[in-house]
Structures are given as C-alpha cells and as structure tokens.
Amino acid sequence: MTTIEKEWAERVRAAAAARTPLCLRGGGSKDFHGRTPVGEPFDLRANAGVVAHEPTELVVIVRGGTPLAELEAALAARGQYLPFEPPHFGAGATVAGCVAAGLSGPRRANMGAVRDFMLGVKLMDGRGEVMKFGGQVMKNVAGYDISRLVAGSLGTLGILLEVSLKVLPRPVAEATLRFELDEPTALRRVNEWGGQPLPVSASLWHGGALHLRLSGAEAAVRAAIERLGGEQLAPTDAAALWDGVCEHAAAPFVLGPGEVLWRVSLPSTAPALALPGRQVVEWGGALRWVVAEGDGASAHGARIRTRAAELGGHAAAFRGGDRGGEVFQPLSAPLASIHRRLKQAFDPAGIFNPGRLYPEF
C-alpha cells in the first residue's frame, strides 16, 4: 500500500466500525447525478497522477484523483484520446468520477461506453482492503467483470484507486454535416446510415435539424460527405456544437425554474417519444433527452417512464427536481437482489455513498 492508501484504509475501517457514512468525492462536478450525496465528505483528489502510458499498446494506467483534463492532455500529446468522449460537467472532473458516473459523450453509440474501455481497476473496499481486478488487455472473464462493474456505480462499491483504460489514436479527419429534417425522418435516416459502412461518430437531432459527425481517414470522410450531401459546418462551429452537447452547455439542456432533464434510453429504432417539452436525440436514436416540468414523483415523470417502457426502454431524472426521491428507473426484484448482494460483498457496513443509486443501498 502507498502512504495515501494506508491512511485511507484506516479511515475506512474506523468508519465501518462506527457505521459512519462516507461521501466519496473528487471534484464534485457530478454531484447533481444520482440521488442526493450524504455522509462525511471524503476527498479523493490527493491520489493523482498517470502511473503508466504505453502509446504503442494503447493503454494508460492512471490514479483515480487525476484531473480528467490532465489525462486527456497527456493522451493528446501522443495523438490519442478517450474514445467514449466523457463529459466533464465542470473543471474539477476526475478520472475516478468519470468512471464512477459511467457517462459517455456523443461518440458512445459508435465507439462504445466507459465500461467497454475498462481494462482493470485497483479498488479499496468497505473493509479497507485493496484489491486489483483485470489487467492491461481485453479478454473474456468468468463471473462478474469487476473492472466494468464499477463503471456507473457512483462510488457505492468502493474507492477507485487506479484505473487501466484502453485508448485509441485520434481520428485523422472529422467533418459535421447538417440536414433540415423532422424527427421521424431523422430517426429513419440515422438508422439507415448506421447499417452502412460510413464513418459516423455522432448524431444529434434537435429543433428540426439533424447533425451528423464523420470521423476517420481523410478519404473515408471525404467520400461520405460526397455521398450524404447536407451542409458542412465550419470546424470551429462543429467543435463548439459537439462540446456544447457533451457538456450540456447548449441551449436545449439549460434548465429553467422547475424544469427537469430526463435521460431516456431506447432502442434506436423506437419512434418519437411524443411528449411535451424540449427534446434532443443522440446516439442514432438510442438516447433521448427531454426537458420538462415534473420529477420522478410527479404525474408527468410517471408519464415519461411509462412511455419509455412502452417503447422498450427506461428513463431517469438526470438533472433537477427532487434528488432525494426516485431518480433512476426502479429495479426489478431480480436486479435489486443482485445490487444488494454486490453492495454486501464490497461494502458490508454500507458506508460508501449510501443511497446514491437507490434508497436501500
């Protein structure tokens, strides 16, 4: 154990013995995500730094408290990047926070999610014990893949000390095309294009316009532009567009008084939600954002969840509203049982971010 790990282990053991809840926290950029954080603040930013970066092996090992921007800068210096395009939601975003939140940006539908690039993890559990899972290569596993399981766990299973991630070379060329289309036509087009050999890396529909980002070899991007047509955005405008969507700084995501941002996950071929409120469609139709009044406890919130279920998906109150209530889609009995067993195995005293995902754990 490092000096920091020894100090943290003592604190964890003391908290477990006293049943003192701990609020695991990095930069706090995602405090809004999930249910209201509770417990004694436990700042994890002191454990920072890139442990190893093997550009030729496309692998980076980094400590959890490392600023996400610092990791991205180190990768960019070697012409590489995090393919899942993680949102920061603030200057203080850390690598552990990125993994624990499990959020991916506009590239997710075409490149994969956070968990898809997890190779290994070093974790401190609720007993103060340090464990390592996975390694530095992708391979099949038997049972639970803990390295991927922690992605999206919101700190409820343990302290992320180190993370091993697969990285990729940055695309040589990128271009963004704009098409004037209504929502049904846009959904049909992106699903048609998704089944073709096109270098699509992101899609966005809002307010009667579909934006399509192309990334890859220059020849492939150029050929796709000639084939698809549309209006090509200037590089600076395209960069601002995708950054605004990734970081939710774009106008459609800015909440007014009493508004809630809903995240609706659906099959990409699902029809339009046909619900009131501002709507944004990403990931080729697999991700729908709805801005409307009413949180998970309201009639309108229930209507959004019902509609999502009708279309084969689920909905979560992503930002705004009552964060002490039902935020995520309620779990089925079998899934809730699995969650409880995992929580018991990794955090038997229930001290890590209690209630952040669901009230019972």
List C-alpha distances in Å: 170 to 82, 100, 196, 218: 9, 24, 22, 12
User: What region does 277 belong to: left with phi over 0, alpha with psi -120 to 50, or beta?
Assistant: left
CB count in 10 Å sphere of residue 210? 22
Q: Is 357 buried (19+), middle (13-18) or exposed (0-12) by CB count in 10 A?
A: buried
Instruction: Say yes or no: do domains 3-169+339-346 and 173-246 share a fold.
Output: no
Residue 152, token pair as written in the block: 């999206």
Domain ranges of the chain: 3-169+339-346, 173-246, 251-319
Q: Is the pLDDT of residue 268 over 80?
A: yes
Per residue in 275-318, pLDDT tens?
A: 999 999 999 999 999 999 877 667 888 999 999 999 999 999 99
Query: What is the per-residue pLDDT across 178-222, written as a single tens digit (0 to 9) for each?
Result: 999 999 999 999 999 999 999 999 999 999 999 999 999 999 999
Identify the CATH class of 3-169+339-346.
alpha beta
Please write the tens of the pLDDT for every residue from 306-361.
999 999 999 999 999 999 988 999 899 999 999 999 999 999 999 999 999 999 88
Q: Which residue has the tokens 């009552």?
A: 322
Please tell me the pTM assigned to this model: 0.94
Give the domain 173-246 fold. Answer: Alpha-Beta Plaits (3.30.70)
